[in-house]
């Protein structure tokens, strides 16, 4: 039994698309990235896992129990941070967290709450409305983590946080996973996903378009090559018909920056005709790979998040 | 693995109780004070005559709306009972009956806090039941406070005739059932709408439309047939105050409307996607 199993999940909002035929599972102690642009269906999937939305079809199992909408299936064991964390503004952060903790396991929560507040450098005695967006997000993180959940579902956890605090948050997530928690990390910040996740799923227009280890996703991306030609020579034009799948990104002085898919052999053969001073292969990032999945439909995103 | 059983969220009930307490106290205070003031007015025949003179100069439906022929010099009980159906008292009840459920359900959905509540170990049904409990108990407590106001006022004043308190208890219960229908409709609206404004709009419209339908039905003979469609039709002051028996039929209608509204709201709340 895996802590979180999703099978053929489909959620429609009337005629509108939510998500379609999503399947994946997460191992215990794994940090799983859930990627996609706004409107791809990340939040819809998460709300179905939380039983806030009723799935149109398919099934979700949390810790071996089938999720039923509105029945709080295994919620004592889940730490959830919504994408848009909003809490009672008139209450002190501490009081808000106490109230929410009391709806589960409040004994464990108190000690953890204080430790987490210290790590995140957050004053819990201030009223929520007085807190900045970043500090409110910290309250959300404490809310998700304070009861030592077995499953963590985090929707854009570092949204609104400065880079230093983001690092602390990622460290806390790593630590939780190290202690056996299963983490679903939804994000469109690719650097944080590549920093902490072992595997990731990429969602496009409600459908899963990739589900693989981060390293595989990166490898599947286009390769890049930077070539510097020797002084005095001209930078040649790219023979597009001879080099299918090769695209010029930039040309500056004696430098030519190319992007290629598949093997680099053909490019190297073509370069043999010219005097090359040096070459470099910029590392393909998750971001590059990610952009490929979206380049087709950029600007056409729709539906609910 | 932790215990995954979902127990009743008494902590949510407590938390919500403290959040609505100020409103209950404010509404309760005014209802209580109005009853005492009315008792003082009713002990002074000159004051009664003056009030009746003012009312007689106004359109007939206004006097009908707050007691009609029960309000006469010498009919102390009828005069005190005026405050049981005074529009101001009805508005106070309406404020509580509408604001509490819409605030607890639609208000929390709108503010985003409902997503947090429902992501803890609380089912949707339990959340709805908490709102029903607080609304219902709040209304019952207000009704009791209104009766207590009359008891206090009657004991503080001296009347030429003996004022029996039992009819006022009966009037409180029937009045409470009337307000309960409003609370039921408000719970229904709160369960249906995401926006608190819309939920309040529906509940207030229900009250106002019913009130005016009853007034029109009483005032205009051709519209008399509309009477039974209004909840106010099922409050007959003379029957409640001076009748031998409880108006069981009328009470059953009001009670049924409340129950049907609350159950329908619960079904919709349970089936609805939240927090959308």
pLDDT digits (tens, 9 = 90+) for B56-84: 777 766 766 666 666 676 778 877 888 88
Selected for mutation to probe chain A from B116, B123, B124, B194 (highest A CB count within 10 Å) is B116
Number of C-beta neighbours around residue A273 at 10 A: 8
- Cβ contact (<8 Å) for A72 and B3? no
Element (H, E) at A143: helix A133-145
Question: How much is the pLDDT for A302?
Answer: 36
What's the pLDDT at B14?
95
E strands within chain B?
none
Q: Is B180 among the domain residues?
A: yes
pTM comes to 0.85
Cα–Cα dist A98/A32, whole Å = 29
Domain total for chain B? Answer: 1
Residue B77 lies inside a defined structural domain of this protein: yes
Instruction: Quote the distance between the C-alpha of residue A203 and its chain's center.
Output: 10
> B18 at the A interface (CB within 8 A)?
no
B12 near A CB under 8 A: yes
Report how far residue B171's alpha carbon sits from residue B165's, in angstroms, rounded to the nearest whole number.
10
Residue B191: what pLDDT? 95
Q: Which pLDDT value is given to residue B98?
A: 93
pLDDT for B176 beyond 70 = yes
Which residues touch B89 (CB under 8 Å, ≥6 apart)? B31, B34, B83, B146
Gap between the Cα atoms of B107 and B105, Å rounded: 5
Subunit contact A72:B120, Cβ cutoff 8 A: yes
Q: Which residues contact B195 (CB under 8 A, 6 or more apart)?
A: B106, B110
B122 with A72: Cβ contact below 8 A: yes
Q: Which domain holds residue B111?
A: 10-271
What's the pLDDT at A301? 39
CA distance B38 to B202: 32
Interface contact flag, B112 A84, Cβ < 8 Å: yes
d(CA A159, CA A166): 9
pLDDT attached to residue A66: 95
- CA separation for the pair B219, B217 (Å, rounded): 6
Residue B6, chain A, CB below 8 Å: the answer is: yes
Share of chain A above pLDDT 90, in %: 50
Bridge partners of A9, per DSSP, are: A22
- Per residue in B11-24, pLDDT tens? 999 999 999 999 99
Residue B4: inside a domain: no
CA A78 to chain B, closest CA, distance in angstroms equals 8
Evaluate whether residue B1 is within a structural domain: no
**Domains, chain A, ranges and CATH?**
4-218 (3.40.50.300), 222-283 (3.30.70)
Q: Mean pLDDT throughout B45-57?
A: 77
Helices B10-42 & A93-101, crossing angle to 10 degrees? 110
Please name which of A78, A19, A26 lies closest in space to residue A45, comparing C-alpha atoms.
A19
Q: What is the pLDDT of residue A284?
A: 64
Q: Do B6 and A72 touch (CB under 8 A)?
A: yes
What CA–CA distances, in Å, run from B12 to A102, B103, B122, B177? Answer: 8, 14, 9, 26
Find the helix or strand (DSSP H, E) in which B269 lies: helix B248-271
Given CB atoms, is B267 within the 8 Å cutoff of chain A?
A: no
Residue B273 to residue A71, Cβ atoms within 8 A:
no
Q: Distance from B71 to chain A by nearest Cα, in Å?
A: 47
Rg of chain A on CA atoms, in Å: 23
Q: Is residue B5 part of a domain?
A: no
What was the pLDDT predicted at A5? 96
pLDDT for the residue B239:
81
Q: Which of A47, A8, A13 is nearest to A184 (CA)?
A: A47
- Inter-chain CB proximity B11 and A77 less than 8 Å: no
Residues of B within 8 A of A86 (CB-CB) are 111-113, 115-116
Q: Is B158 on the interface with A (CB under 8 A)?
A: no
Residue spans of beta strands (DSSP E) within chain A? 4-13, 16-26, 31-35, 57-62, 65-66, 78-81, 151-155, 182-187, 199-204, 207-213, 223-229, 246-252, 255-260, 276-280
pLDDT tens track of chain A, all 305 residues?
Answer: 899 999 999 999 888 889 999 999 999 999 999 988 888 899 999 999 999 999 999 999 999 999 999 999 999 999 999 988 999 999 999 999 999 999 876 677 778 899 999 988 999 999 999 998 889 999 999 999 998 899 999 998 988 888 888 888 899 999 999 999 999 999 877 778 888 999 999 998 899 988 989 888 777 667 788 999 998 888 888 887 888 888 888 888 899 998 887 778 888 888 988 999 999 887 666 667 677 666 654 444 333 33
Is A155:A46 a contact under the CB 8 Å cutoff? yes
Residue of B116, B119, B123 with shortest CB distance to A71: B123
A277-294 per-residue burial string, b: 16 or more CB within 10 A, e: under 16: eeeeeeebebebbbebbb
CA distance B131 to chain A (A): 16
A52–B125: do the CB atoms touch at under 8 Å? no
Q: Is B2 part of any domain?
A: no
CA distance B275 to chain A (A): 7
- Reply yes or no: is the peptide bond before residue B275 cis, omega within 30 of 0: yes
Say yes or no for a CB contact (<8 Å) between A75 and B122.
Answer: yes
Alpha helices by DSSP H, listed for A15-123, are: 42-49, 93-101, 106-119
What is residue A305's predicted lDDT score, i.e. its pLDDT? 38
- Residues B200-245 have pLDDT tens digits of 999 999 989 998 998 899 888 899 999 999 998 998 877 887 888 8
Q: According to the model, what pLDDT value does residue A300 have?
A: 41
The answer to whether residue B3 neighbours chain A at the CB level (below 8 Å) is yes
Find the radius of gyration of the CA atoms of chain B. Answer: 21
Nearest CA in chain A to B3: A76
């Amino acid at each position: 039994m895996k802590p979180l199993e999703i099978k053929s999940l489909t959620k429609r909002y009337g005629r509108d698309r939510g998500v379609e035929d999503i399947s994946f599972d997460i191992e215990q102690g794994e940090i799983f990235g859930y990627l996609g642009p706004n409107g791809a269906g990340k939040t819809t999937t998460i709300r179905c896992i939380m039983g806030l939305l009723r799935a149109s079809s398919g099934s979700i199992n949390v810790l071996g129990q089938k999720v039923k909408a509105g029945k709080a299936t295994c919620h004592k064991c889940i730490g959830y941070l919504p994408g848009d964390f909003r809490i009672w503004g008139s209450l002190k952060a501490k009081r808000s967290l106490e109230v929410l903790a009391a709806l589960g396991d409040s004994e464990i929560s108190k000690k953890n709450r204080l430790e987490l507040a210290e790590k995140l450098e957050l004053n819990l005695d201030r009223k929520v409305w007085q807190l900045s967006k970043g500090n409110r997000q910290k309250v959300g993180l404490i809310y998700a983590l304070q009861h030592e959940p077995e499953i963590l579902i985090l929707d854009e956890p570092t949204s609104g946080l400065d880079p230093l605090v983001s690092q602390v948050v990622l460290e806390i997530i790593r630590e939780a996973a190290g202690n056996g928690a299963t983490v679903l990390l939804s994000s469109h910040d690719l650097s944080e996903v590549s920093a902490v996740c072992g595997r990731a799923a990429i969602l496009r227009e409600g459908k899963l378009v990739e589900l693989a280890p981060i390293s595989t996703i990166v490898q599947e991306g286009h390769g890049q090559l930077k070539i510097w030609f020797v002084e005095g020579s001209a930078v040649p034009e790219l023979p597009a018909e001879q080099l299918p799948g090769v695209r010029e990104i930039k040309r500056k002085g004696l430098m030519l920056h190319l992007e290629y898919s598949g093997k680099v052999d053909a490019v190297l053969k073509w370069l043999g005709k010219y005097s090359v001073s040096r070459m470099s292969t910029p590392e393909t990032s998750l971001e590059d790979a990610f952009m490929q999945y979206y380049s087709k439909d950029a600007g056409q995103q729709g539906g609910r998040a | 693995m932790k215990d995954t059983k979902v127990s009743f969220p008494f902590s949510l009930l407590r938390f919500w109780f403290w959040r609505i307490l100020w409103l209950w106290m404010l509404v309760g205070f005014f209802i209580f004070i109005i009853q005492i003031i009315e008792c003082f007015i009713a002990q002074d025949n000159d004051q009664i005559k003056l009030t009746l003179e003012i009312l007689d100069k106004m359109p007939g439906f206004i006097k009908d709306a707050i007691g009609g022929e029960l309000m006469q010099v010498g009919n102390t009980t009828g005069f005190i009972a005026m405050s049981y159906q005074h529009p101001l008292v009805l508005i106070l009840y309406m404020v509580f009956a509408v604001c509490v459920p819409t605030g607890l359900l639609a208000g929390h959905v709108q503010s985003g806090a409902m997503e947090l509540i429902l992501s803890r170990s609380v089912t949707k049904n339990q959340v709805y039941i908490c709102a029903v409990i607080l609304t219902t108990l709040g209304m019952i407590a207000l009704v009791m406070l209104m009766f207590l106001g009359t008891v206090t006022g009657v004991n503080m004043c001296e009347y030429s005739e003996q004022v029996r308190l039992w009819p006022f208890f009966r009037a409180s219960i029937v009045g409470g059932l009337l307000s309960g229908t409003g609370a039921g409709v408000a719970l229904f609206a709160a369960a249906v709408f995401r926006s608190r404004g819309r939920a309040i709009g529906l509940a207030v419209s229900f009250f106002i439309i019913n009130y005016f339908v009853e007034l029109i039905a009483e005032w205009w003979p051709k519209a008399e047939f509309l009477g039974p469609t209004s909840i106010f039709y099922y409050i007959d002051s003379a029957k409640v105050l001076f009748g031998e028996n409880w108006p069981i039929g009328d009470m059953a209608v009001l009670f049924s409307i409340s129950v049907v509204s609350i159950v329908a709201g619960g079904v919709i709340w349970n089936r609805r996607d939240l927090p959308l």
